[in-house]
Copies of this chain bind each other. A is one copy, B any other.
Amino acid sequence: MQRVFEALSSPVRRKILAYLAHADLTAGEIAARFEISKPAVSQHLSVLENAGLVTSEKKGQFVHYRLVAEALANTLNGYVQEVCPVSRPLKKESAALAGKASRPTSD
Contacts and interface: CB of A to CB of B under 8 A. Distances in A.
A33 to B, nearest CB: 14
B80 A73 contact: yes
A60 interface: no
Interface residues of A, number: 32
A39 interface: no
A29 interface: no
A14 B87 CA distance: 17
A31 interface: no
Interface of A: 2, 5-6, 8-9, 11, 14-15, 17-18, 21, 67, 69-70, 72-73, 76-77, 79-80, 82-87, 89-90, 93-94, 97, 107
